[in-house]
Chain A
Amino acid sequence: MTLLFLALPFVGALVLFLLGKKARFAQVFNLVLQLAWLALMFFVHGQSREIAGNGGFPLVYSWKWLPQLKSSLSLGIDGLNLPLLWLTVILSLCLGLYAYGKDKLDGSYLGLFSVLNGATVGSLLAADALAFYIFWEFMLIPMYFLIGKWGSKNRVYAALKFFAMTMGGSLLMLLAIVALAFRPDVSDLGWHSLTQLALPWDGQWNSWQGLLFVGFFAAFAVKIPVWPLHTWLPDAHTEAPTGGSVILAGVLLKLGVYGLLRWCLPIVPQASMAAAPLMFALGVAGILLGSFAAWQQTDIKRLIAYSSVAHLGFMVLGVFSGNVEAMQGAVFQNIAHGLSTGAMFLIFGMIYDRTHSRELDAYGGFAKDHAWIATLFLVAVFASVGMPGLPGFVGEFLVLVGTFAVAPWTAVLASLGVLLGAVYMLTLVRKMMFGPTSSLVASHPVRLGWNEWAAILPLIALMLYLGFGAQTLLGLSETDLRELAVKLR
């Protein structure tokens, strides 16, 4: 069942490519495909309910596809990837709904998305380092085209920058994996054997642990992105089409955090913890400089993109704090940020489809005639600002509390992000939603179709639920993170 779940997007993509320019057919087919995928997700969840959440990353499928490279296509499910699988499936269904009826978003666009989805869940499920790497790299290709072909004015520059930087990071990870494969004591590249390695660590960075850490971290750091490797993100976010921005913020960045927790920390635990002070510095730099940059932006998508840099800074802190509370915070923030930022990009994308302007100063008084859209946007904004009762708070709170235990001053500096978040986000709301109605807003009324409402509402509903129902997710990943925390001690 899990294999089918993984294969379906790839198979569906082939059909979508064939449908090509027949946009309407492709969109309908895509919706059916997404619904079928969602149904499969329920099955996968049901099947794994017994095993996920007990730790140990249980395998659900394994096939020795490349014995020569000590690699097999093995898939596992646990509390770390299950929530992200859900997030991917839900976001892509929402994007399928959003795409419906938009002539430009034809079969090739939807097909690329489907490939992206397949690669995403592939890298989430992979329990083998090489398989992980392949899916990981495969995410690049469709994203590159999505930005390069369907993006806005400066798309080629953004696509290339995204591609080159991510690729650069990934190559180092490939080196790390290949190096591991050549070690005689590595019988296979499966997650279970790699995490049992217990490589020696003597504090030297040119040791195995040190170099492997650099390799893995490089790939994940670019993806997250960790400051100062973040400059591809504002460009990619801004130039990408709406769907691209949503999936980028909602899922792709999340894989960086996931990768750290899944691969980097368990394989090279001591090196990772030794790097923690540097990571704290980078995390705080991301929070503060990302927030300051967001405050300066006049392009709405760029502003939201920089807010991601700040939020992901929190997650870096959470991951490298190495205690259960903080790592839970990072894992939870992963989902929370995916929902809130995804929703913000989605809603703004719908507005942009009508107004064709990203200039913040061109907007004003949007809330007057669009009470519902404004309300939903505000829910996402306050989730992002860390309002208790919405999920962003749970993530930030756990990260801060957990980080304080190991690095008090880091946590104190990071808490400034809570204030700065309010500054730039409320500036956005004030200029865009409130005040006198601008001519741009007055001349471009935004009337959403049923499919667009249907795309936004699940995200909002999930946010409202998770704010108080945080335990649903925290309970899932608790055991896995406890095991990891023991390893890191």
Chain B
Amino acid sequence: MDLPLEPLLRWIILLPVIGAILNGVFLRSKNGILSGLLGTAAAVGAFIVTLVVIGRVPDSHGTVLALDPWFTWMKTGDLEVAFQLEVTPLTRVMLLVVTGIGSLIHLYATGYMSHDKSPWRFFAYLNLFLAAMLSLILSSNLVGVFLGWEGVGLCSYLLIGFWFEKDENAAAGMKAFVTNRVGDLGFVLALMVIFAYTRTFEMSKLVEIAQAGQIPAWVWLTAAAGIFWASTGKSAQIPLYVWLPDAMAGPTPVSALIHAATMVTSGVFLITRVWPIFAGQPAVLDVVLWGGLATAWIAALTALTQRDIKKVLAYSTVSQLGFMFVALGCGSPAAALFHVVTHACFKALLFLGAGSVIHGMHEKQDLFEMGGLRHHMKWTHLTFLAGVLAIIGFPLTSGFFSKDMIIAKAMIRGAVPGMLLIGAALVTSFYMVRAYTLAFWGEARSKEAAHAHESSPIMLAPLVVLAVLSIFVGWFETPEVFHGPTKFSNWVLQSWYGVSPAGHEGHLSHAMEWILMGVVSALSLGVAWYSFTKYRVFRHGGSKATALHRVSENKFYVDEIYAFLILRPLKFATGKVTKFVDVYVINGFLHALRDGARISGQVLSLFHTGSVQVYGWYLAVGTVLVLLFVRWWAV
């Protein structure tokens, strides 16, 4: 097969790397605008190269649209790993999302971080993150994906702990990295088992081999389970989602880019990319489905009571990621990917809007201290509203289409998952409108809120672009009854190297689909209106907190449970064990040996001078004498 070679691909990764090096090694400027523009230029450069590449490739029906066989990374025995990049219809979408939204967020950050003490460091990390994320997307084999996977984890660690003078920020960064490493064990397991049985890491070959079905089924089961486990770490699902809310310790543009729009969706992306491995694993998909549902609910319930605007958005992200996993669990990677894209737009918008609010409020993040901001921050208010409408699925916004698609798939799967998912969507409506109303409506509840100021144009421009995207990007994939385009489904279907895995393709009747759409929209708007009226006039601590309220406020005590059940016992037990083994058993034995030798060594006390040097000289001289003796006098 003739593969379309495209050496330009490597520059999509190299440009951000160069940007990071320039900012981090050479420039190191305290001038935030300069560092920011340099970082932005690198991101925009990657975006432009992406556009050029996409423009150049023919829109054929093949999977590999462009290929860059860059260099050999490891080659030994049967193992061969090349650092090889490829573009498929699926990765094309992700490339656009990451470089496009990435560029906007870089631009926004130029304004946001302009008063920071070391903006150069921030933009170096941010560029490095882009490079890692783009490697994850572009790599043609799983080892390259793992490189990106770990790379984004590293950058996330560095950026969460960006203001490392505060201990809790450093702790949050470490928590993120270590929790992700727990997930990565699954990835490593998948890599090991895949290589042992297929002798390759190239995804194009893997999906073929998976389809051919000559490898024992448990291999694919293990691989799928491992990749899913890794995804629960990166994409913040139960039980490993706990790092994401803490990750809000990082600067807000980081939360928007890494912890909402791009990195956290890489689990969904990876599963979609190797979907043929998952398609034949109903057991794994069941776990994906129910885990996704549980995550969507728990996170949404937690978001209900959070006072920190970023925490609300963080739990909302966890919950929306749950929606994506539900889509995967129902056997529809297209719906999952579609929601990845729309979510990237509106959640980035919401986070950046929150950043603008925080900026205008002099770093206050407490919703209870806001209020009435719509008077002071017109643009922020309107764009934030667009984001809220999109996330609650206001008819014809992007979130409406993608969420409707997932709900429809869940309904096909069964009434119970469908109803549960609709429930989670309604809770979303409630807490998002609550946050919006608390921030922008009612009376100003603090000095900062009364004197809030609108952000600079450099920050507002990305908001406007994202707002437009959030409203309109949904038209790429429309429900069947609309007879509109269904681009995502086509792209995703083309991305499995000619393999078309069997799925249970159920259909809703047209009437059912209309009813579903109408009922869900109506309910959602009703809940939104109820929430709006409830929080429009703020009453502090009016009604008594219920037990559920307290549980939600305390995030279901998950951190405490983990610390109590896992971390503390583990540290205690391993401390005891290692001390016992090393100090008492091994060293005890050695010391007994030494003391025994000391007693019997009294005879030699003649030479026992106590000086270490003398011992050494004995040895040196003795060695030489023995050698000389052997050389000239022995037989």
| A residues with CB within 8 A of B | 65-66, 68-69, 134, 137-138, 140-141, 144-145, 148-149, 156, 159-161, 164-165, 228, 231, 289, 292-293, 295-296, 323-325, 328, 365, 367-368, 371, 382, 387-389, 393-394, 397-398, 400-402, 404-405, 408, 411-412, 415-416, 418-419, 422-423, 426-427, 429-430, 433-437, 468, 470-471, 474-475, 478, 481-482, 485
Within 8 Å by CB of A474, from B75, B118, B181, B635, lies: B75
Q: Which residues of B contact A434 (CB under 8 A)?
A: 161, 164-165, 167, 169-170
The docked-state distance in angstroms from the alpha carbon of A324 to that of B150 is 26
Residue of A nearest to B617 (CB): A141
- A–B pairs, 12, beta carbons within 8 Å: A65-B631, A66-B630, A141-B619, A289-B582, A296-B578, A367-B164, A368-B164, A397-B191, A408-B193, A418-B185, A419-B181, A482-B77
**Least Cβ distance of B52 to chain A in Å?**
25
Cβ proximity bits B12-45 to A, threshold 8 Å, 1 near / 0 not: 0000000000000000000000000000000000
Q: Which residues of A contact B146 (CB under 8 A)?
A: 388
Q: Which residues of B contact A68 (CB under 8 A)?
A: 630-631, 634-635
Residue of B nearest to A288 (CB): B574
Task: List CB contacts (< 8 Å) of B125-175 with chain A.
Answer: 143, 146-147, 150-151, 154, 157, 161, 164-167, 169-171, 173-174
B483 at the interface (CB under 8 A from A): no
Interface size class of B (residues with CB under 8 A): 35 or more
* CB <8 Å contact, B75 and A471: yes
B378 at the interface (CB under 8 A from A): no
Cβ proximity bits B613-631 to A, threshold 8 Å, 1 near / 0 not: 1011001100100010011
**Least Cβ distance of A100 to chain B in Å?**
25
* CB <8 Å contact, A397 and B164: no
Q: Which residues of B contact A148 (CB under 8 A)?
A: 612-613
The docked-state distance in angstroms from the alpha carbon of A367 to that of B177 is 19
Residue of A nearest to B145 (CB): A388
The docked-state distance in angstroms from the alpha carbon of A241 to that of B606 is 31
* CB <8 Å contact, A141 and B196: no
B529 at the interface (CB under 8 A from A): no
* CB <8 Å contact, B177 and A292: no
The docked-state distance in angstroms from the alpha carbon of A212 to that of B161 is 53
B188 at the interface (CB under 8 A from A): yes
Known contacts A293-B578, A411-B192, A422-B181: A437-B165 contact under CB 8 Å: yes
Q: Which residues of A contact B75 (CB under 8 A)?
A: 471, 474-475
The docked-state distance in angstroms from the alpha carbon of A418 to that of B180 is 11
* CB <8 Å contact, A165 and B623: no
Known contacts A434-B167, A435-B167: A289-B586 contact under CB 8 Å: no
Q: Which residues of B contact A387 (CB under 8 A)?
A: 150-151, 154
Cβ proximity bits B41-83 to A, threshold 8 Å, 1 near / 0 not: 0000000000000000000000000000001111111110001
Known contacts A296-B575, A400-B192, A404-B195: A422-B177 contact under CB 8 Å: yes
Q: Which residues of A contact B612 (CB under 8 A)?
A: 144-145, 148-149, 156, 159-160
* CB <8 Å contact, B161 and A468: no
Q: Which residues of B contact A430 (CB under 8 A)?
A: 170-171, 173-174
* CB <8 Å contact, A423 and B164: no
* CB <8 Å contact, B184 and A419: yes
Contacts A144-B615, A228-B586 supplied; 8 other A-B pairs, CB < 8 Å: A66-B630, A145-B613, A159-B612, A382-B154, A398-B76, A434-B167, A474-B74, A481-B76
| B residues with CB within 8 A of A | 71-79, 83, 118, 121, 143, 146-147, 150-151, 154, 157, 161, 164-167, 169-171, 173-174, 177-178, 181-182, 184-185, 188-189, 191-193, 195-196, 571, 574-575, 577-579, 581-582, 585-587, 590, 594, 612-613, 615-616, 619-620, 623, 627, 630-631, 634-635
Q: Which residues of B contact A482 (CB under 8 A)?
A: 77
**Least Cβ distance of B118 to chain A in Å?**
8
Q: A-B pairs with the 5 shortest C-beta distances?
A: A324-B77, A434-B170, A292-B574, A404-B192, A388-B147
**Least Cβ distance of A155 to chain B in Å?**
9
* CB <8 Å contact, A427 and B174: yes
Within 8 Å by CB of B74, from A145, A415, A422, A471, lies: A471
**Least Cβ distance of B94 to chain A in Å?**
20
Q: Which residues of A contact B587 (CB under 8 A)?
A: 231
Within 8 Å by CB of A289, from B164, B169, B185, B577, lies: B577
Residue of A nearest to B72 (CB): A471
**Least Cβ distance of B216 to chain A in Å?**
13
Residue of B nearest to A415 (CB): B188
Within 8 Å by CB of B178, from A144, A400, A422, A471, lies: A422
The docked-state distance in angstroms from the alpha carbon of A367 to that of B161 is 12
Known contacts A231-B590, A325-B78, A468-B83: A419-B178 contact under CB 8 Å: yes
Known contacts A137-B623, A430-B170, A471-B73: A401-B192 contact under CB 8 Å: yes
* CB <8 Å contact, B184 and A231: no
Chain B interface SS verdict (over half): helix
The docked-state distance in angstroms from the alpha carbon of A295 to that of B182 is 16
Residue of B nearest to A375 (CB): B24
**Least Cβ distance of A471 to chain B in Å?**
5
* CB <8 Å contact, B79 and A398: yes
Q: Which residues of B contact A419 (CB under 8 A)?
A: 178, 181-182, 184-185
**Least Cβ distance of B124 to chain A in Å?**
10
* CB <8 Å contact, B174 and A404: no
Q: Which residues of B contact A427 (CB under 8 A)?
A: 174
Residue of A nearest to B157 (CB): A426
* CB <8 Å contact, B192 and A289: no
Within 8 Å by CB of B77, from A137, A295, A325, A415, lies: A325
Residue of A nearest to B632 (CB): A68
**Least Cβ distance of A193 to chain B in Å?**
20
The docked-state distance in angstroms from the alpha carbon of A482 to that of B78 is 11
* CB <8 Å contact, A401 and B79: yes
Q: Which residues of B contact A149 (CB under 8 A)?
A: 612-613
* CB <8 Å contact, A415 and B192: yes
* CB <8 Å contact, A134 and B627: yes
The docked-state distance in angstroms from the alpha carbon of A80 to that of B339 is 52
* CB <8 Å contact, B74 and A388: no
Q: Which residues of A contact B185 (CB under 8 A)?
A: 415-416, 418-419
* CB <8 Å contact, B189 and A415: yes
* CB <8 Å contact, A141 and B165: no
Q: Which residues of A contact B575 (CB under 8 A)?
A: 292, 295-296
Residue of A nearest to B168 (CB): A435
Known contacts A401-B192, A474-B75: A296-B150 contact under CB 8 Å: no
The docked-state distance in angstroms from the alpha carbon of A437 to that of B165 is 7
Q: Which residues of A contact B586 (CB under 8 A)?
A: 228, 231
* CB <8 Å contact, B151 and A388: yes
Residue of B nearest to A419 (CB): B181
The docked-state distance in angstroms from the alpha carbon of A402 to that of B79 is 9
The docked-state distance in angstroms from the alpha carbon of A446 to that of B188 is 39
* CB <8 Å contact, B74 and A435: no
* CB <8 Å contact, B178 and A423: yes
The docked-state distance in angstroms from the alpha carbon of A481 to that of B79 is 14
Q: Which residues of B contact A423 (CB under 8 A)?
A: 178, 181
Q: Which residues of B contact A485 (CB under 8 A)?
A: 77
The docked-state distance in angstroms from the alpha carbon of A259 to that of B151 is 35
Q: Which residues of A contact B590 (CB under 8 A)?
A: 161, 165, 231
The docked-state distance in angstroms from the alpha carbon of A221 to that of B577 is 22
Q: Which residues of B contact A475 (CB under 8 A)?
A: 75
* CB <8 Å contact, A231 and B174: no
The docked-state distance in angstroms from the alpha carbon of A243 to that of B154 is 30
Q: Which residues of B contact A144 (CB under 8 A)?
A: 612, 615-616
Residue of A nearest to B158 (CB): A378
Q: Which residues of A contact B623 (CB under 8 A)?
A: 134, 137-138
Residue of B nearest to A164 (CB): B594
The docked-state distance in angstroms from the alpha carbon of A418 to that of B612 is 40
**Least Cβ distance of A484 to chain B in Å?**
12
Q: Which residues of B contact A435 (CB under 8 A)?
A: 164-167, 170
* CB <8 Å contact, A436 and B616: no
Q: Which residues of A contact B173 (CB under 8 A)?
A: 430
Q: Which residues of A contact B83 (CB under 8 A)?
A: 468
* CB <8 Å contact, B77 and A323: yes
Known contacts A137-B623, A289-B581, A435-B165: A401-B181 contact under CB 8 Å: no
